[in-house]
Amino acid sequence: MTPTARPDAPFPRMTGVPFDPAMFKDVRVNLSATERRAASLTTRRSVKKDHQAAWLAQAITCIDLTTLSGDDTAGRVQRLCAKARQPLRADLMAALGLDALSVGAVCVYPTMVGPAVRALQGTAIPVASVATGFPAALTPLPLRLAEIRYAVAEGAREIDIVIPRELALTGRWSELYDQIAQMRAECGAAHMKAILSTGDLRTLGTVYKASMVAMQAGADFIKTSTGKEEVNATLPVSLTMVRALRDFRDLTGQIVGFKPAGGLKTAKDAMAWLILMREELGVRWTRNDLFRFGASSMLGDIERQIEHYVTGRYSATYRHALA
């Protein structure tokens, strides 16, 4: 890890690098070896009792609490933001000895950014917005860039862009780099997460290359999925992306974050991905400036597991509603 003044010191924001296909063109990803390593992650490390509760509390701080439904309303977003402000009940907070806890961000569609910003006023919780023709990225580039500008103007501090999968599937890496670089420029001070839609990319080699191109173009985070694909975040795909992130750091000295999204629903999922980050990159990559979950229902299950830790009893899932 790049040395810093203290272990939790923030890293400089990454700037990207000129397009360089030599960084990825000859890379091959061994599927069976990747699957074996991914399968071993959750069997080699066991986290129990006090330590598990601490890991789950940490996981909460890394959640991008998300609503991306066609029937979203300002009222639903406001209720989600209330949960973001206090993701755990007060009695559970007290039992864990926590004074304050909040999620990493609230993620919504561009038209819901305004209501989210107002609902989170007075907190440090950022509003993230999907953009660029989410989830398919099949609108013309000028419209995708305009959507970023709109979300930023509404107050979004993080933008989750979607890459056009055609460019990755056909190996048009220079074009992909140029489009992502334009998106990064439109984000301005807002951090940009590049969604690769890995379930559509077919091979781990393509996932690795798309990860590298997105980072070269200036993505602050690389993200697995929109949550709308048939296959979303998996441990083998995530391992491939994390290895690309590590290679990029070693080659350029620049630090990029990682966000798995789609299909992550349980506290067990949270533990598995935290173990991945700790094993592959170290403890520093389990903090929310470098790691996020794209999830909503995961929070309810984490709260339920923490209640079991505190009381010794499992409660019904309906007692942990999000909004």
**In one letter, which amino acid is 228?**
K
Q: Tell me: the pLDDT tens digits for 131-140?
A: 999 999 999 9
Range with the lowest mean pLDDT among 80-84, 165-169, 316-320?
316-320
Convert 138-152 to b/e letters by CB count within 10 Å (16 or more is b): eeeeeebbebbeebb
Is residue 223 among the annotated active site residues? Answer: yes
The mean pLDDT value for 257-274 works out to: 95
Which positions ≥6 away from 170 have C-beta within 8 Å? Answer: none
- C-alpha dist (Å) from residue 157 to 18, 190, 303: 25, 4, 27
64, 83, 160, 301: the catalytic one is 160
For position 321, what pLDDT does the model report?
64
pLDDT reading at 5 higher than 50:
no
Count the Cβ atoms, other than its own, within 10 Å of residue 52. 16
Q: Tell me: the pLDDT tens digits for 179-214?
A: 999 999 999 999 999 999 999 999 999 999 999 999
Eight-state DSSP code of residue 28: -
Task: Name the residue ranges covered by the structural domains of the chain.
Answer: 21-320
Distance from C-alpha of 312 to C-alpha of 144, rounded to nearest angstrom: 50
Per-residue pLDDT band for 59 (boundaries 50, 70, 90) equals very high
pLDDT reading at 219 higher than 50:
yes
Virtual CA dihedral for 49, 55, 56, 61, nearest 10 degrees? Answer: 160
Task: Supply the mean pLDDT for the chain.
Answer: 93
pTM score > 0.85 for this model? yes
Q: Give ∠ CA 112-227-162 in degrees, rounded to 5.
A: 70
CA atoms within 13 A on the CB side of 320: 22
Pair of tokens at residue 51: 């330590």
The mean pLDDT value for 48-66 works out to: 94
CA quadruple 105, 13, 183, 24: dihedral positive or negative?
Answer: negative
**Omega before 126 cis (within 30°)?**
no
For position 8, what pLDDT does the model report?
67
Range with the lowest mean pLDDT among 214-218, 262-266, 267-271, 315-319?
315-319
Per-residue pLDDT band for 4 (boundaries 50, 70, 90) equals very low
pLDDT reading at 3 higher than 70:
no
Q: Tell me: the pLDDT tens digits for 86-124?
A: 999 999 999 999 999 999 999 999 999 999 999 999 999
For position 80, what pLDDT does the model report?
96
For position 318, what pLDDT does the model report?
63
For position 2, what pLDDT does the model report?
38
Strand order in the sheet with 293-295: 257-259, 221-223, 191-195, 158-162, 127-130, 105-108, 63-66, 293-295
83, 193, 209, 223: the catalytic one is 223
Is residue 178 among the annotated active site residues? Answer: no
- CATH architecture type of domain 21-320: Alpha-Beta Barrel (3.20)
For position 307, what pLDDT does the model report?
94
Using a pLDDT cut of 70, give the percent of the chain over it.
Answer: 95
Are residues 157 and 190 in contact, defined by beta-carbon separation less than 8 angstroms?
A: yes
193, 209, 259, 301: the catalytic one is 259
Which positions ≥6 away from 182 have C-beta within 8 Å? Answer: 141, 145
For tokens 């592959």, what's the residue? Answer: 280
Is residue 71 among the annotated active site residues? Answer: no
Pair of tokens at residue 62: 């890394």
The mean pLDDT value for 235-257 works out to: 97
Distance from C-alpha of 110 to C-alpha of 190, rounded to nearest angstrom: 14
